[in-house]
C-alpha cells in the first residue's frame, strides 16, 4: 500500500520534469546538430555565466567606471570623468609605511591595519584549527558533541557574533563583571588599542575556526591508520609522529585553510565593525570598512574613491587567489 502511494507521489512530482524534458528535447537536439559539442557546453554553462556576469563581471566594470569619475552623484551619467585622480589620491605618499605622510592617511592606515590583522589572524586560525582538529580527532568522550560545539559559531551571523562579544567585552560587559567579582581590575577591552586588536582577532578566530577545523579534521581522517600503527610499533615519539606523518600528509588541507583564511581575513568587516566600529581611533579600521565609510556611511560620500580603493583591494585578492592556484599546481607536480 505504502509502496503504491510512494509510486503515485513520485509520478506526480516526476510529471512536470518529464514534460519539461520532452518540451526541450527537440530544440536541444537541433542545437546540438547545429553547434556540435561546443554549443552544448555553452548551453549548460549559460545559466551560471548569466548569474556570474550579472552579479560579478558587470558590477566589476561599473566599479571601474565609478573609479574614474568624480562627484557625489550616484548615476554614472551625472558624473564627470576624472581619470586616475582617485588612484593618485590613494597612492600619493612620501613614505607608504607611514600613513601620516600620505594624502589619504586613512586608506593607508586601513591597509597596514589589514596587513597586521591578516598575519596575526591567519597564523592564529591555522594553529588553533590544527589543535582543535587534533583534539576532535582523538578518542575523547562526547566527541560528536564537541565537534558541534566548535562548529556552532560558524552558523551565527557575523553581526550576531559582533554583538554578543560587544556585550561581553564592553566596559560594563560580562567579562569585566566577572573580573570585578574575582577582585581583578577591569579592563576597557574595546577602548585600549592593543586589547581592541586582540579582541578583533580573537572574536574573528572564534567565529571561523570551526569551519577550518572541519577541513583539517577531514584531512586527518583520510590519513591511513597503519602509518600511525607502524610508528607506534617503532616507538616513535608523538612530536615526531606529528611532524613526520601528520603534518606532511595534512599539508594540502592546511594549504586550503591558509588560503581561504587569508582571503577572508583581507575582507574582514562585519563582526569587527559591530564590535569596535574601527576604533579605538582608527586602530581596527580595516580596508572594507574604509571602503564602506567612504562610499556609503560618511556624511558626504565619495563613490569614486571607494570604487578605486575596492579595485585595489580586488587586485590584492586576485594575487592571493593566483598564489593559491600556483601553490596547488606546484604541489600536484611535486
Partner 1 sequence: MKRTAYRLTIAAAMAAIMAASPALAEEVRIMWYSDGNEGEVMQDLLDRFMADNKDITVVLDNVSYQVVQEQLPISLAAGEGPDIARVTNLKAQAEHWLDLTPYVADPEYWRANFGGQADWMRPDGSDAITGFMTQLTVTGGFANKTLYEQAGVEIPGPDASWDEVVAAADQVAKSQGLIAAFALDRSGHRLSGPAVSFGANFIADDGMPAPVDDGVKAFVSRMVQWTEEGKNLKDVWVSAAGSTYRAAADDFINAQIPYYYSGSWQIANLATKIGNGFDWVATGSPCGGAACSGMAGGAGLLAVKYTKVPEAVGKVMDYLGSAEIVKEFSERTLFLPAHKGVVEAGNLDFQSDDPNVKAALSAFVAASGKIAPNASALSAWKWANAYYGALVTRTSQAMAGELTLDDAYARMNDDIAEQVKQAGQ
105 neighbors 281 (Cβ within 8 angstroms):
no
Q: Is 84 in the site for partner 1 (CB under 8 A)?
A: no
Find out whether the peptide bond into 122 is cis, omega within 30 degrees of 0: no
Q: Which of 66, 67, 68, 79 binds partner 1 (CB under 8 A)?
A: 79
Q: Is 162 in the site for partner 1 (CB under 8 A)?
A: no
Q: Minimum CB separation from partner 1 for residue 70, in Å? A: 3
Number of amino acids touching partner 1 (CB under 8 A): 40
284 neighbors 272 (Cβ within 8 angstroms):
yes
Q: Is 105 in the site for partner 1 (CB under 8 A)?
A: yes
The DSSP line for 35-90 is HHHHHHHHHHHHHHHHHHIIIIIHHHHHHHHHHTEESS-SSGGGSEE-TTHHHHHH
Q: Minimum CB separation from partner 1 for residue 5, in Å? A: 42
Phi, psi of 167 (to 5 degrees): -65, -35
- Extract long-range pairs of 253-256: CB within 8 Å, 24+ residues apart: 253/215, 253/216, 253/218, 253/219, 254/126, 254/130, 254/216, 254/219, 255/324, 255/327, 255/328, 255/331, 256/215
- Extract long-range pairs of 180-183: CB within 8 Å, 24+ residues apart: none
From the number of C-beta atoms within 10 Å of its C-beta (0-12, 13-18, 19+), residue 289 rates as buried
Q: Minimum CB separation from partner 1 for residue 86, in Å? A: 10
Q: CB under 8 Å to 126, separation ≥6 — which residues?
A: 212, 254, 257, 258, 261
SS3 69: strand
What separation, in Å, do the N-terminal and C-terminal C-alpha atoms of the chain show?
Answer: 59
**Nearer CB in complex with partner 1: 224/281:** 281
**Nearer CB in complex with partner 1: 69/137:** 69
Name residues contacting partner 1, limited to 218-277 (CB under 8 A): 276-277
Site string for partner 1, 272-311 (x = CB under 8 A): ----xxxxxxxxxx---x---x--xxxxxxx-xx------
**Nearer CB in complex with partner 1: 250/275:** 275
**Nearer CB in complex with partner 1: 124/188:** 188
**Nearer CB in complex with partner 1: 80/185:** 80
**Nearer CB in complex with partner 1: 158/210:** 158
d(CA 139, CA 129): 17
- From the list 56-64, 67-75, 139-147, 325-333, the region that binds partner 1 by CB under 8 A is 67-75
127 neighbors 300 (Cβ within 8 angstroms):
no
Site string for partner 1, 168-207 (x = CB under 8 A): --xxx---------------x-xx-x--------------
**Nearer CB in complex with partner 1: 69/246:** 69
Q: Which of 53, 71, 83, 314 binds partner 1 (CB under 8 A)?
A: 71
Q: Minimum CB separation from partner 1 for residue 305, in Å? A: 8
**Nearer CB in complex with partner 1: 109/137:** 109
Query: What is the binding site for partner 1 (CB under 8 A)?
Result: 70-75, 79-80, 82, 100, 105-106, 170-172, 188, 190-191, 193, 276-285, 289, 293, 296-302, 304-305
Amino acid at each position: 500500500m505504502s509502496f503504491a502511494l510512494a509510486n503515485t507521489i513520485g509520478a506526480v512530482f516526476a510529471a512536470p520534469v518529464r514534460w519539461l524534458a520532452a518540451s526541450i528535447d527537440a530544440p536541444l537536439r537541433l542545437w546540438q546538430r547545429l553547434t556540435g559539442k561546443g554549443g552544448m557546453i555553452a548551453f549548460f554553462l549559460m545559466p551560471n555565466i548569466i548569474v556570474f556576469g550579472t552579479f560579478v563581471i558587470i558590477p566589476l566594470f561599473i566599479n571601474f567606471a565609478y573609479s574614474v569619475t568624480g562627484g557625489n552623484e550616484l548615476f554614472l551619467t551625472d558624473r564627470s570623468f576624472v581619470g586616475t585622480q582617485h588612484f593618485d589620491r590613494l597612492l600619493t605618499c612620501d613614505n607608504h609605511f607611514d600613513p601620516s605622510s600620505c594624502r589619504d592617511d586613512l586608506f593607508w592606515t586601513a591597509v597596514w591595519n589589514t596587513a597586521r590583522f591578516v598575519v596575526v589572524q591567519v597564523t592564529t586560525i591555522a594553529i588553533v584549527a590544527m589543535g582543535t582538529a587534533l583534539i576532535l580527532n582523538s578518542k575523547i568522550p562526547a566527541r560528536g558533541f564537541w565537534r558541534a560545539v566548535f562548529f556552532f559559531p560558524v552558523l551565527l551571523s557575523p553581526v550576531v557574533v559582533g554583538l554578543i562579544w560587544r556585550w561581553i567585552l564592553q566596559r560594563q560587559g560580562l567579562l569585566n563583571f566577572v573580573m570585578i567579582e574575582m577582585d581583578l581590575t577591569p579592563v576597557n577591552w574595546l577602548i585600549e588599542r592593543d586589547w581592541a586588536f586582540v579582541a578583533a582577532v580573537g572574536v574573528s578566530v572564534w567565529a571561523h575556526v570551526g569551519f577550518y577545523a572541519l577541513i583539517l579534521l577531514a584531512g586527518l581522517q583520510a590519513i591511513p591508520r597503519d602509518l600511525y600503527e607502524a610508528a607506534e610499533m617503532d616507538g616513535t615519539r608523538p612530536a615526531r609522529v606529528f611532524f613526520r606523518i601528520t603534518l606532511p600528509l595534512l599539508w594540502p588541507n592546511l594549504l586550503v585553510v591558509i588560503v581561504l583564511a587569508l582571503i577572508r581575513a583581507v575582507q574582514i568587516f562585519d563582526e569587527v565593525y559591530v564590535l569596535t566600529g574601527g576604533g579605538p581611533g582608527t586602530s581596527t579600521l580595516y580596508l572594507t570598512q574604509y571602503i564602506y565609510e567612504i562610499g556609503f556611511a560618511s556624511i558626504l560620500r565619495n563613490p569614486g574613491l571607494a570604487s578605486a580603493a575596492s579595485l585595489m583591494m580586488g587586485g590584492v585578492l586576485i594575487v592571493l587567489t593566483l598564489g593559491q592556484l600556483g601553490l596547488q599546481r606546484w604541489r600536484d607536480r611535486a
